[in-house]
Copies of this chain bind each other. A is one copy, B any other.
Amino acid sequence: MVKVGIIGYGYWGPNLFRNFNETLNAQVVCVCDLKTDRISIVKHNYPTIKVTNDHRELISDKRIDAVVIATPVSTHFELAMLALKAGKHVLIEKPLAATSEEYSRLIDEAGKRKLVLLVDHTFIYTGAVKKIHELTRKNLIGNIYYYDSVRINLGIFQHDVNVIWDLAVHDISVMDYLLKEKPYGVSATGGSHVKGKPEDVAYMTLFFAKKLIAHLHVNWLSPVKVRRTLIGGTNKMIVYDDLEPSDKVKVYDRGIAVHEGSEAMRQILVSYHSGDMWAPYLDVTEGLRAEVEHFADCIENMKTPITNGESGLRVVKILEAANKSMEKHGRPVKLK
């Protein structure tokens, strides 16, 4: 039984709380938030759980094995470092930290102390993404031609990050999980429409060594909500629409067949095939529930999490490069 303390009970904290509370191999023992009204909600509903507005009190609580951090991004690094130094395992809301340099320090600290460091990239743990991972690993899709994702809605403006750090982070972590290749460069564009606020609309292209091209569109100002990823391969194409109530993942037996025939021929050597469509049954477990169970399992059985610090670091390096490119109107930026 992993005993957990949660710092931050704002938007995402209650979801983490509920999932840890309902997981058999974990238990929430303490919740910390700076705001009295947030704390009093916990107190009212769960009178046996300790509450505090002092994160140091939580981190130093001897009963606690793991600290869960769901606070604004700017505080992530400090809180995570304190928790690791106190010997606690850490699950931290994405992005793990504000800079890749801070990431590296957290990874080192966790590594040195043999503590589990899990970045809360929830989508990786959903039935849909797990199924797509299985399909790509089985080579059902063939070589991937493009990865295109749209993640837009009327969103909450973040104080400290732009729309790329808020939304594209999800897609980049999913891509990091699904695609074997890693990108070598980024071109990003975007704009801010509210004075003094960060970019609220952004686009980014990721370049890969082979034919693969990836593109993300994120937007906080869209009147409609869209969560759709297209993955085009040589054999099949996938449409993953996260807002569909069922059949979220559709596999199309559609594509082009290239006949590498006589170049001299003046005919079109590219033909199309249009075949069946197939929507595999998906595990309906909530992604966050699976993540929370995975975190407890990693702690209890000394495993490395799927969304460990290193994967988080790759993601944040792409976010940093995108920011640089966006400042220069799309000028490509290399990834090291």
Contacts and interface: CB of A to CB of B under 8 A. Distances in A.
Stoichiometry, as copies per complex, reads 4
A329 interface: yes
A274 B281 contact: yes
A145 B274 contact: no
A85 interface: no
A187 B331 CA distance: 8
B213 A270 contact: no
Interface stretch (A4-12, A197-205, A289-297): A197-205
A58 interface: no
A41 to B, nearest CB: 9
Interface in A196-240: 196-197, 201, 203, 205, 207, 211-213, 215, 217, 219, 221-225, 230, 232, 237-239
Contact of A232 (B192, B217, B222): B222
Interface in A215-272: 215, 217, 219, 221-225, 230, 232, 237-239, 243, 245-247, 250, 252-256, 258, 260, 263, 268, 270, 272
Nearest to A22: B45
Interface in A20-60: 21, 45-48
A272 B154 contact: yes
B213 A189 contact: yes
Contact of A189 (B215, B224, B232): B215
Interface string A61-101: 00000000000000000000000000000000000000000
Highest count of chain B CB atoms <10 Å: which of A157, A191, A263, A332: A191
Given A194-B256, A203-B205, 6 more contacts: A146-B191, A146-B193, A194-B258, A222-B230, A247-B277, A279-B279
A-B pairs with lowest CB-CB distance, top 7: A187-B330, A223-B252, A223-B237, A189-B205, A277-B279, A191-B213, A329-B332
